[in-house]
Amino acid sequence: MRHIISAMVKNEGGVLAHVAGLFAARAYNIDSLNVGETEDPATSRMTIAIRGEDAVIEQVIKQLRKLVNVIKVQDFSGRECVERDLMLIKVTTLPGKRGEVNDLVDIFRGKVVDISHKDMVVELSGPEAKVDAFISLCQPYGIREVVRSGRIAMVRGTKAE
Amino acid sequence: MTRTGAQLLIDSLLDVGINTLFGIPGGVVIPIFDVLYDSELNAVLMRHEQAAAHAADGYARASGRLGCCLATSGPGATNLVTGIATANFDSVPILAITGQVRTDLIGNDAFQEADITGITRGITKHNYLVRHAEDIPRVVHEAAHIATTGRFGPVLIDIPVDVSTSKVDGELQSDLQLPGYKPNSVGNPRQVERAAELINQSSRPVLYAGGGVIASGAHQELLALAQAGNIPVTTTLMGLGAIPEDHRLSLKMLGMHGTPVANYAVMSSDLLIAIGARFDDRITGKITEFAEHAKILHVDIDPSSIGKNIKVDLPVVGDARQILLRLTPLIEERNRSEWWQQIENWRRDHKFSYKNDGKLKPQFVVQQIREVTGGEAIICTEVGQNQMWAAQWFTFKRPRQFISSGGLGTMGYGFPAAIGAQFARPEATVFEIAGDGSFQMNIQELATVARNNTPVKIALLNNGYLGMVRQWQELFYQRRYSHTRLNGNPDFVKVADAYGVAGIRVQKSEEVRPALEKALKIDGPVLLDFCIDPEENVFPMVPTDERLDHMIDLA
Ligand SMILES: Cc1ncc(C[n+]2csc(CCOP(=O)(O)OP(=O)(O)O)c2C)c(N)n1
Ligand SMILES: [Mg+2]
């Protein structure tokens, strides 16, 4: 099963290496890992999307909690939460096709952020499935480059305790 | 007061209670050694950094205090790695201090640069690269706190040379800033009650005690629980001494080379009470058939140890001593006479034994060491057959009496660990029970014991083989002794002599006792070269991945 693990960590050198090292040493396979500062500049939030059996996920969480620089770890699976991926995608826009791609961008509520003679860069965010769907619809036009942020997530309603 | 980073380091180490460290100097730690030149902190010069780490570890295991080692950057730091990994695997609290190249050179492949925080990330409990001298007091206090709380372990502090030499003024903060570090030691009261219920309901319980009992200082509480419920106790290798082994409730050690009674009891139990132990494969044998009929109750300070190797029916996270203190009053007195009848039968029918064929036997040597020291000696071991014979035949009385690399199984550990143990416990008789292969991995420390007149007695069980590997080859590889014969062993007595250490060769059983007595009379280090039966084996033995009660015993 897929899990979203959210870890609050000290915002200092070496934390990312500790977490990455933990995953590497135990051969855990992560789908994505996202790190960013929180409302408190002394802490960062890591959001880890990972697949695995419950026992494995339980070990992952226990091992994360063991790291001295990790302040809090939560498993969001089974909880009501908002999940988002952010993507930048560079789509080939041959003459005459730009309008079609623009329509797609509108339907997906994306944004064109750069444009040239041959291609354009679209910014899109949303749940993983929506982002995947957009990629597949762009395929016929030709995709030059995709950059995705990896999952970020937040529990709905009152602040996650 | 203006102090350099190096002065701050030594002051902080003294602050956290370190008065002895083991190390070797080098370019980037000269400023630190310069402070040690006239410091009250006693620095012991070793001959290899690996030995320095093991000595810090032996010091910690023998005393329960924080050990400390110090090495230079690059090769000095990487030489510590095996020692740090050894301490980490057995949860031993040590501080490893390393020098680092100048801050502005880090990452530039400077002379003797090694990314030691990167290298040791997976084998330390935590590590630090210090960038500002004013952080040193806080970092040392945090490191000491982390090493000696929760599940103990090594912490490394890497200090660039410019940080050591830079000057700082005034009083500095040493308050801990560890928002993410809160080990749970008290345990959940409801879980403790449930544990008591499980124990009270069980008719065939076994206590299975590991190194956590010793680390937590819970040996008296363990015995109290065992007595309250009339529960037999077996220990792991790391748990040796958690209960006096000659106590009626002790089944001695379990596992691959454990006693039959311990292994049978565990396999027939209806409740296995694991305390500070982690269900290692050397203990469980074939894990899917381990203690099949038993419920598992697991008390451990480290939540990630629980449910890792085996499914646990009742976890209790916390410090062994604190939990046992609250658990024992809830235990109902039961005589469990049927269970004990069964256990006494096993105990009577399956004793450890060896063939008495007139050859010099290692088991006999270990027994004699016990007798001449009144069973009081601290025993450090190497790895291999020597380690198992020491574990099986000494009969330990107290915690911190058996010092051995359990988890990592590091050859070369025992001798430097014995040096560390002797520094921690100057009044104690310390024996290092060695194998000829392992001893040669840190043999250079003969210089250290000679120089300091450290009275460690080395009992070399010299079989001319990498004996434990040879045993496996004999039993499972048709006696194809590939690269296990130690041709080219030196004359160890002459080697000792060359270092200025007394050496005694022992070839016959009747010479053992007088030689040991002579060694104990010498006020200084002694090497006893016991030329034992070269193909003696360690039995009983559970072959890898066999059921724990399938022991072979060809003795
Ligand atoms: C550093 C290291 N290298 C290799 C091994 C594998 N190993 C385990 S026991 C052993 C033989 C040890 O020989 P010796 O020290 O003579 O002890 P004996 O078994 O003969 O008592 C070896 C090579 C190890 N445990 N540690
Ligand atoms: Mg040998």
A40-45: average pLDDT: 93
DSSP state of B285: B
Read out DSSP for B142-196?
HHHHHHTSSS---EEEEEEHHHHH-EEES--------TT-----S--HHHHHHHH
Among A23-32, B84-93, B217-226, which stretch is predicted with the lowest mean pLDDT? A23-32
Is the pLDDT confidence value at A24 over 90? no
Residues B159 and B306 in one domain: no
**Looking at ligand 1, which atom is closest to the CA of residue B386?**
21
Q: What percent of chain B has pLDDT over 90?
A: 96
* Domain assignment present for B309: yes
Q: Which CATH superfamily is domain A82-155 in?
A: ACT-like. Chain A, domain 2 (3.30.70.1150)
Indicate if B338 and B381 belong to the same structural domain: no
Q: Residue A2: what pLDDT?
A: 83
CB contact under 8 A, B129 and A13: yes
Mutate to test the pocket of ligand 1, among B257, B463, B468, B531 (most ligand atoms within 8 A of CB): B468
Asked if residue B551 belongs to a domain, the reply is no
Q: Which among A55, A62, A67 has the least Cβ separation from residue B303?
A: A62
| Closest-approach residue (CA) in chain B for A42 | B179
Same domain, B266 and B228: yes
CA distances from B499 to B274, B433, B496, B526 (A): 46, 19, 5, 11
User: What pLDDT sits at residue A52?
Assistant: 87
Q: Tell me the pLDDT tens digit for each residue of B247-296.
A: 999 999 999 999 999 999 999 999 999 999 999 999 999 999 999 999 99
Same domain, B368 and B402: yes
List B273's β-bridge partners, or say none.
Answer: B207, B297
Indicate whether A161 pLDDT > 60: no
pLDDT of residue A160: 47
CB B76 within 8 A of CB B50: no
Give domain status of residue B181, yes or no: no
Q: At residue B543, does pLDDT exceed 80?
A: yes
Confirm if B127 and B117 have CB atoms less than 8 A apart.
Answer: yes
Q: What is the ipTM of this complex?
A: 0.84
B257, B190, B251: which is closest to B468 by C-alpha?
B257
Residues B129 and B102 in one domain: yes
Is residue B554, in this structure, part of any structural domain at all? Answer: no
Q: Which domain holds residue B367?
A: 362-531
Contact A61, A26 (CB under 8 A): no
pLDDT of residue B555: 58
Find the CB nearest B308 among A9, A10, A59: A59
User: Residues B211, B213, B215, CA angle at the centre, nearest 5°?
Assistant: 70
Whole-angstrom Cα distance, residue B504 to residue B511?
10
Distance from residue B401's CA to the centre of ligand 1 (Å)? 22
Centroid of ligand 1 to alpha carbon of B514 (angstroms): 29
CB atoms near residue B518 (< 10 Å): 13
Do B425 and B366 have their domain in common? yes
* Model confidence pLDDT, tens digit, residues A90-140: 999 988 889 999 999 999 999 999 999 999 999 999 999 999 999 999 999
- Region A3-26: mean pLDDT is 88
Tokens 């016929």 sit at which residue? A140
DSSP state of A30: E
Is B328 found in the same domain as B367?
Answer: no
Whether residue B323 sits in one domain with residue B376: no
Segment B307-329 mean pLDDT? 96
Chain centroid to CA B20: 19
A63/B179 Cβ within 8 A: no
B192 and B328 in contact (C-beta within 8 Å)?
no
pLDDT at B184: 83
Q: Per residue, what are the HEC states of B47-112?
A: CCHHHHHHHHHHHHHHHCCCEEEEECCCHHHHHHHHHHHHHHHCCCCEEEEEEECCHHHCCCCCCC
Ligand 1 neighbourhood includes B391 CB (under 6 angstroms): no
Residues in chain A, how many? 161
Rounded average pLDDT over A139-152: 94
Query: Which DSSP string do the residues of B290-356 spell out, in sequence order?
Result: TTTT-EEEEEES-GGGTTSSS--SEEEES-HHHHHHHHGGGPPP---HHHHHHHHHHHHH-------
Kindly report, residue by residue over B177-217, the tens digit of the pLDDT.
999 999 888 889 999 999 999 999 999 999 999 999 999 99
Q: How many other CB atoms sit within 10 Å of the CB of residue A160?
A: 14
Contacts of A17 in chain B (CB under 8 A): 118, 121
Atom of ligand 1 nearest to the CA of B82: 1
Residue B28 counted as domain residue: yes
Contact, B176 vs B116, CB < 8 A? no
* For the CA of B440, the nearest atom of ligand 1: 15
Last residue in a domain, options B321, B349, B377: B349
Q: Is it the case that residue B328 has pLDDT exceeding 80?
A: yes
Of A25, A68, A70, the CB nearest to B122: A25
Q: Is the pLDDT score of B486 beyond 60?
A: yes
B410 φ/ψ angles, rounded to the nearest 5 degrees: -90, 110
**Separation of alpha carbons B214 and A149, rounded Å:** 47
**CATH number of the domain that B499 lies in?**
3.40.50.970
CATH architecture type of domain A2-75:
2-Layer Sandwich (3.30)
Same domain for B272 and B301? yes
**Same domain? B515 vs B376:** yes
Q: Which residues are CB-neighbours of B253 under 8 A, at least 6 positions away?
A: B234, B235, B236, B237, B239, B240, B259, B262, B391, B392
Interface test with B, best of A9, A66, A69, A71 (most B CBs within 10 A): A66
Any atom of ligand 1 within 6 Å of the Cβ of B362: no
Average pLDDT estimate for A137-161? 87
pTM for the whole structure: 0.95
Residue B50: how many CA atoms within 13 Å on its side-chain side? 16
Q: Which of B296, B320, B349 is the endpoint of a domain? A: B349
pLDDT tens track for A31-41: 899 999 999 99
B408 lines ligand 1 (CB under 6 A): no
Asked if the C-beta of A21 comes within 8 angstroms of chain B's C-beta atoms, the answer is: yes
Ligand 1 centroid – CA B284 distance (Å): 22
The CATH number of residue B342's host domain is 3.40.50.1220
pLDDT value for B45? 98
Give B1 or B472, the one with higher predicted confidence: B472
**Do residues B393 and B372 lie in contact, with contact meaning Cβ atoms separated by under 8 Å?**
no
Same domain membership, residue B115 and residue B220 = no
Q: Where in chain A is the domain with CATH 3.30.70.1150?
A: 82-155
| pLDDT for the residue numbered A159 | 57
Is the pLDDT assigned to residue B554 strictly greater than 90? no
Number of domains in chain B: 3
pLDDT beyond 70 at B517: yes
Cβ separation of A72 and B126 shorter than 8 Å? no
Cβ pair A15, A7 in contact under 8 A: no
Answer yes or no: is pLDDT of B455 > 90: yes
A140 near B CB under 8 A:
no
Q: What distance in Å separates the CA atoms of residue B260 and residue A79, rounded to the nearest whole number?
A: 50
Q: Tell me whether residues A66 and B304 touch, CB distance under 8 A.
A: yes
As a whole number, mean pLDDT of residues A84-92 equals 96
Rounded mean pLDDT, B419-447: 98
CB atoms A63 and B304 under 8 Å = yes
Mean pLDDT of chain B: 97
Instruction: Name the more confident of B30 and A77.
Output: B30
Please state the atom number of ligand 1 nearest to the C-alpha of residue B468: 19
Residues B258 and B152 placed together within one structural domain of the fold: no
Integer Cα distance of B363 and B357 in angstroms: 13
**Residue-wise pLDDT tens digits, B209-256:** 999 999 999 999 999 999 999 999 999 999 999 999 999 999 999 999
Mutation for A interface: B181, B300, B305, B310, most A CBs within 10 A: B181
Cis check for the bond before B540: say yes or no (omega within 30 of 0): yes
Of B300, B326, B349, the position where a domain reaches its end is: B349
Pairing of strands B233-235, A152-155: unpaired
